[in-house]
Amino acid sequence: MSKLIQALLSGIFVTFILDFFLFLGLFQNYIRPKEIDLYYNILFADNQNIIIFVIFTILLSYILVYTNTKLSLIVVGILSTLSLSTLISPIGEIVGTAILSSKNVTIQTQKFSYTGDIYYKGRENITLYDYKLKKIIILNKNNIKGKY
């Protein structure tokens, strides 16, 4: 196997593992506490940013195969610590809020207008905390007018 293919496969593997634990922390400490009806697989698949994944894959491929072992261990150790830190409840909630939510949004449907915080934008539904109702509501994307 050529060194380039070995590097790319190593980079993909390490990036995938880091990504897995990042989203596991978001699922455990953001999705579950907010009682959003969502499976981990859907969260993981729908929120992948392919550009960021490719950039990390290429960087880690180079670092893992073409640099010295000490630098590889330091970089992978730091990235692992950052990724695994989302498993700590307050950190996972902060990161989940930063990545998945939107504050003070107004959503217009055919009959009503809702103002609140979007907790999660799913494939078919939006989970919104409405300020006036003071509860979480689920809106079907097909019933929403305009952008959200």
pLDDT at 138: 92
- pLDDT band (50, 70, 90) for residue 148: low
Residue for token pair 């217009």: 108
pLDDT at 145: 80
pLDDT tens per residue, range 90-134: 999 999 999 999 999 999 888 889 999 999 998 889 999 999 999
CA distances from 133 to 108, 110, 115, 128 (A): 15, 18, 10, 11
pLDDT at 111: 86
Token readout for 38 is 């969502």
For the chain, the 3-state helix, strand and coil shares in percent, each to the nearest 5, are 60, 20, 20
Whether 5 shows a pLDDT value over 80: the answer reads: yes
21 Cβ contact partners less than 8 Å away, ≥ 6 residues apart: 80, 83, 84, 86, 87
Q: How far apart are CA 6 and CA 10, in angstroms?
A: 6
Whether the CB-CB separation of 106 and 147 falls below 8 Å is answered with no
pLDDT tens per residue, range 19-51: 999 999 999 999 999 989 888 888 888 899 999
Sequence letter at residue 101: S
Token readout for 97 is 């809020």
- pLDDT band (50, 70, 90) for residue 136: very high
Domain positions in the chain are 3-99, 101-145
Model confidence, pTM: 0.87
End-to-end Cα distance, the chain: 48
Q: What is the mean pLDDT of the chain?
A: 92
Return the CATH class of domain 101-145. Answer: mainly beta
